[in-house]
């Protein structure tokens, strides 16, 4: 091939990759409002960091709130300073880091198993349901997973690199670990340390922990990750220890902090099914991928160890969230990518595993499509069309791959394209229909247009009200207090769910408007003020 043809071919691939990343992660990034409850909380942290100029201490509603370390807030605040405050800006770090995760998966898989496995693994990682969801979320998870994947890659390079060059790789591993510690907390170095210890024990190389390399890696991680913690302790002492170390780390592991988690014995069995659900559509290949890679070599063992450590750790944790399995996805993607690569080479076990997975994927696609269609009919009738498109995209992708099952590469590409169609339908067709039910932006904008009033949230946890109103509503759960507010001389509006509207109406409130399942009521003082302003 001539040099000019090589250049054209290279440019073609670059354009294809850029278009793919844009379609998956950046198209429509700011098209939908921040979804309650989590996104507006992170958005508010960023907003207050930018407006206050204090980039060290996280605050929510003007109060200290040590929920997460500041790395995500720093990145999102930088985006806000560059592009202005918007949904796009506060989600941008997640989208950028999602691209970084895919690139690191490609590098790690290529280093371990070859270039084609790298391509397959990158496509798998790029199009898992979790990756697509978290790349569009104002949250810390994609940033954390990026640094974790860098740490896994540099650790593997440290193991494989001969001579003095190894020092640089482990220092880079320490740096990535420290940055992860600044993103999510001590859980990042803890999980990595457990995984590295188990892996070195498995491959018979525990002595490597007693080396200059290991000391350098640990010191680098502490030098990067620890100063913020020290500064917070010096500045806020007990408030930081209670709020961050105890409440948001130790207590999360020791007891369930969300109403959806009970802490009962069966909650320990939730993590693996959750991972399989959000690793769709590729989870149909994962069991066979683990089986075929078990004990394969040291690099495959690292992936299996990391997968097992994450699943086991968060299965034991009393507080569980679907995003907690996300750090395991890069390892799972590489294991699946390697099985697909061996199937493409004609290895019988892998070919059989891919075929079984394709049939399972076809069945799951049909089931998923039917479930989404029924759900749309019952809850969001206007979303029936996107539900059909999303279900059909997965089903048809597996149907086509089965029809062409002798061509493994086509299985990867058709499944990836099916997921791309899925996410585009979700963002541009489904979410505009569903978002009024999941975001308070619409009702907050209508409240914002009202004359000066006090805003009360009754039996409601909607952080989006603070983010979009620029003021924190008064939170009330007592009906007697609502009665007093309604008889107050101060003009007041009350935001409540439809299920609580009777408690408000029975105390003499007047309904102003509603959006989805939220209603806004006004007290008599507000109504008199409006009547007086309307009089000539």
pLDDT at 405: 66
pLDDT at 78: 96
Average pLDDT estimate for 109-137: 93
Residue 210's Cβ-count burial label (10 Å; 0-12, 13-18, 19+) is exposed
453/473 Cα distance (integer angstroms): 11
pLDDT at 102: 95
- pLDDT band of 302, cuts 50, 70, 90: very high
151/169 Cα distance (integer angstroms): 9
Displacement of CA 296 from its chain's centroid (Å): 31
Average pLDDT estimate for 447-464: 88
| For residue 32, pLDDT beyond 70 | yes
Give the torsion sign (CA, 392, 394, 395, 399).
positive
- pLDDT band of 172, cuts 50, 70, 90: very high
257/253 Cα distance (integer angstroms): 9
Average pLDDT estimate for 303-322: 85
User: Of 41, 16, 153, 24, whose CA–CA distance to 94 is shortest?
Assistant: 24
Q: DSSP code of 255?
A: S
| For residue 507, pLDDT beyond 80 | no
pLDDT at 71: 95
pLDDT at 321: 74
Read off the pTM: 0.91
Please report, rounded to a whole number, the percentage of residues in the chain having pLDDT higher than 70: 93
Secondary structure of 439-459 as H, E, C letters: CCHHHHHHHHCCCCCEEEEEC
Q: What angle is formed at CA 357 by the lines to CA 351 and CA 362, rounded to 5 degrees?
A: 130
Give the torsion sign (CA, 468, 473, 477, 480).
negative
**Contact of 415 with 281, CB cutoff 8 Å:** yes
pLDDT at 257: 62
Which tens digits make up the pLDDT trace of 39-87? 999 999 999 999 999 999 999 888 888 888 999 999 999 999 999 999 9
Which tens digits make up the pLDDT trace of 406-417? 677 777 888 888
State the chain's maximal CA–CA distance in angstroms: 89
222/121 Cα distance (integer angstroms): 31
| HSE of 1, CA atoms in CB hemisphere, 13 A | 8
| For residue 264, pLDDT beyond 90 | no
Which tens digits make up the pLDDT trace of 365-407? 888 888 888 888 888 888 888 888 888 888 888 888 887 766 7
Mean pLDDT, all residues of the chain: 87
């Amino acid at each position: 091939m001539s040099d000019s043809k090589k250049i054209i071919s290279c440019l073609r691939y670059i354009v294809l990759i850029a278009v793919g990343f844009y379609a998956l992660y950046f198209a429509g990034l700011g098209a939908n409002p921040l979804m309650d409850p989590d996104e507006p909380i992170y958005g508010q942290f960023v907003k207050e960091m930018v407006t206050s100029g204090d980039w060290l201490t996280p605050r929510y509603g003007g109060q200290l709130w040590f929920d997460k370390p500041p790395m995500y807030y720093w990145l999102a605040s930088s985006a806000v300073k560059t592009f202005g405050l918007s949904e796009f800006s506060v989600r941008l770090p997640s989208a950028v880091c999602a691209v970084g995760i895919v690139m690191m998966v490609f590098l790690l898989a290529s280093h371990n198993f070859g270039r084609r496995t790298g391509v397959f693994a990158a496509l798998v990682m790029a199009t898992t349901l979790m990756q697509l969801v978290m790349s569009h979320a104002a949250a810390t998870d994609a940033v954390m997973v990026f640094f974790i994947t860098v740490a896994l890659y540099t650790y593997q390079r440290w193991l494989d690199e001969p001579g003095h060059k190894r020092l640089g790789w482990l220092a880079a591993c320490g740096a990535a670990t420290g940055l992860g510690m600044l993103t999510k907390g001590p859980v990042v170095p803890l999980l990595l340390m457990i995984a590295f210890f188990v892996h070195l024990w498995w491959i018979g190389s525990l002595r490597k922990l007693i080396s200059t390399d290991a000391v350098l890696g640990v010191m680098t991680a502490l030098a990067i990750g620890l100063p913020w913690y020290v500064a917070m302790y010096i500045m806020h002492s007990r408030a930081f220890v209670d709020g961050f170390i105890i409440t948001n780390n130790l207590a999360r592991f020791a007891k369930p902090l969300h109403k959806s988690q009970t802490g009962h014995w069966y909650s320990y069995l939730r993590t693996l099914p959750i991972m399989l659900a959000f690793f769709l559509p590729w989870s149909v290949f994962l069991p066979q991928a683990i089986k075929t890679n078990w004990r394969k070599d040291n690099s495959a063992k690292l992936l299996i160890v990391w997968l097992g450590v994450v699943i086991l750790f968060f299965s034991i944790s009393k507080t569980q969230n679907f995003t907690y399995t996300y750090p395991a996805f890069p390892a799972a993607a590489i294991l699946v990518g390697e099985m697909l690569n061996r199937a493409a080479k004609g290895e019988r076990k892998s070919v059989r595993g891919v075929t079984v997975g394709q049939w399972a994927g076809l069945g799951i696609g049909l089931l998923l499509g039917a479930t989404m269609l029924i759900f749309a009919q019952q809850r969001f009738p206007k979303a029936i069309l996107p539900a059909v498109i999303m279900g059909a995209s997965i089903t048809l992708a597996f149907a086509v791959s089965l029809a062409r099952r002798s061509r493994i590469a086509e299985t990867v590409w058709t499944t990836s394209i099916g997921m791309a169609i899925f996410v585009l339908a979700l963002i541009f067709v489904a979410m505009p229909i569903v978002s009024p039910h999941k975001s308070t932006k619409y009702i907050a904008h209508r409240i914002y247009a009202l004359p000066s009033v006090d805003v009360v949230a009754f039996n409601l946890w909607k952080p989006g009200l603070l983010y979009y109103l620029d003021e924190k509503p008064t939170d009330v759960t007592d009906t007697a207090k609502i009665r007093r507010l309604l008889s107050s001389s101060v003009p007041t509006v009350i935001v409540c769910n439809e299920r609580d509207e009777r408690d408000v109406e029975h105390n003499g409130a007047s309904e102003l408007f509603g959006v989805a399942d939220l209603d806004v009521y006004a007290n008599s003082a507000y109504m008199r003020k409006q009547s007086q302003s309307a009089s000539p």
